[in-house]
Amino acid sequence: MRDTYDVIIVGAGPGGATAAYFLGEAGRRVLVLEKETLPRYKPCGGGLSARMLKETFPFSFEPVVETQVKAVAYTFGGRAHVIPVPGGEVQTVMRDQFDAHILAHARAEVWQGLAVRHITELNDRVVVETSNGQVVEGRYLIGADGANSVVARAFGLRRGKTTAAAIEAEVRVAPEVRQQFGDALWFIFGDIRHGYAWVFPKSDHLSVGIAALHPKHGELQAGLARVAARYGVALEDAQLRGHPIPIYLRREPIATARALLVGDAAGLADPFTGEGIRLAIKSGRLAAESIIANQPERYPSAIHREIGVCHTFGLGVAWLFYTFPRLCFALGAPNPFITYAFVDMLTDRADYPQVILQTIASLPVFAVTEIAAALAGLFGGPRRKREVRSAVYSGVGD
């Protein structure tokens, strides 16, 4: 007799682990199928909001926090702007430890090292065959298996998907190299078309990567090599790992009657920043809630309402930035109000329409402040210039 579960979840990333946690808390019998053995490495910058985690889960993530981020830095064409952010708002993690940490709190059965070979959807259940020939059944199935989702392919979902490409390396560097980045998230523009490079601090190394939409052959590698050389980061001994980033361009089918896609499998990465952890967690929770309520048919509409509409505006922001990069960088990078708006979005307290409105509303204040600071610096020196800026910007991001 086949094992029967309330829900089978394919993939143990943030989306799958989150769904498993909330389904288990609701008393559902859950099976998680993970093709790798946990913990397993996942290419990811690993920046996320401490507030979002605290408001979503009742347990602490302190054991898996790598760095408490204190600033966000932007560079373009030789210019750099470093914007302090409120302490404890943003953190970095390693995905292998982070994913396993969520799953460890889930009341779910976990089968590791087993890929999905075949899936069949019937009127009242879903039948899954694994790579070792085991067959299990579930009332529902959640596909949390990434941008190249086996579940999506099995049901013909997201056939017209668009993906960006990224490569990343975890690099150990000399103390003086590590020190130049501090505890800041670095976003580096100008080294690749329609994309950016990043350097995120971890506890004992740096996560260094680059991503772009439709890069030419070798363009990512060349761009990352330029960035690494500029900052003295040696990539010779580092292992470069590539991965696709699904970019939300339009509303696509992400569910059948008994199968739901979450996270990258549903194509929910942010169309401008490529951020995915927060959206995987959010979609995993929405999928779990729709199944718990016995209303899985409402899941696609909930995703569009809670994530998709925001992403449509994000597409506009991405188009504007990559069409007029120098202008957008000049107006946006030094403006702390914009960074604080994006931090709010990372915590799920804001969305792109609010970011756009806050950006527009902040421009006059920012312009007046910078003019006043310039005059203060002219007559009172650099210290007075900093005092004027501090008087206006202090506490804005709290």
Q: Say which residue, 366 or 140, is predicted with more confidence.
A: 140
Q: Quick one: tokens of 261?
A: 């896609």
The pLDDT, as a whole number, for residue 388 is 47
Domain count, the chain: 3
pLDDT value of position 78:
85
Residue 287 has a pLDDT of 98
Does residue 101 carry a pLDDT above 70?
yes
Q: Are residues 156 and 166 in the same domain?
A: no
Summary mean pLDDT of the chain: 90
For the chain, helix (H) and strand (E) counts, in that order, are 12, 17
Cα separation, 280 vs 231, in Å, equals 32
In a domain, 98, yes or no: yes
Residue 235 within any structural domain of the chain? yes
Determine which of 9-13, 85-89, 93-97, 144-148 has the lowest per-residue pLDDT on average. Answer: 85-89
Does one domain contain both 131 and 279? yes
pLDDT single digits (tens) 213-245: 889 999 999 999 999 999 999 998 889 999 899
Same domain, 168 and 153: no
Residues 6+ apart with CB under 8 A from 392: 365, 369
Q: Is residue 311 part of a domain?
A: no
**Taking 70 as the threshold, does the pLDDT of residue 1 lie above it?**
no
CA dihedral sign, ordered 362, 365, 369, 372: positive
Same domain, 21 and 141: yes
Give every CB contact of residue 143 below 8 A, 6+ residues apart in sequence.
10, 11, 149, 150, 151, 152, 259, 260, 261, 262, 265, 266
pLDDT(197) > 70: yes
Q: Are 63 and 101 in contact (CB under 8 A)?
A: yes
The CATH number of residue 167's host domain is 3.30.9.10
Domain membership of residue 40 as a residue range: 3-46+94-161+252-294
Three-state secondary-structure class, residue 305: helix
Q: Which string of b and e fits 241-276 if b means at least 16 CB within 10 Å? A: eebbbbbbeeebebbbebbbbbbbbbbbbbbbbbbb
Exposed / middle / buried, residue 374 (Cβ in 10 Å: 0-12, 13-18, 19+): exposed
Pick from 145-149, 279-283, 360-364, 368-372: least confident? 368-372
Q: Are residues 41 and 108 in the same domain?
A: yes
Q: Residue 57: inside a domain, yes or no? A: no
Q: 30 and 104: one domain?
A: yes
Residues 193 and 237 in one domain: yes
Q: Are residues 113 and 143 in the same domain?
A: yes
Does residue 32 share a domain with residue 11? yes
The mean per-residue pLDDT over the stretch 196-213 comes to: 94
* Domain match, 21 and 127 both: yes
Identity (one letter) of the amino acid at 201?
A: P
Residue 93 CA neighbour count, 13 Å, CB half: 22
Flag whether 256 is in a domain: yes
Residue 390 has pLDDT above 70, yes or no: no
**Residue 257 in tokens:** 């009657």
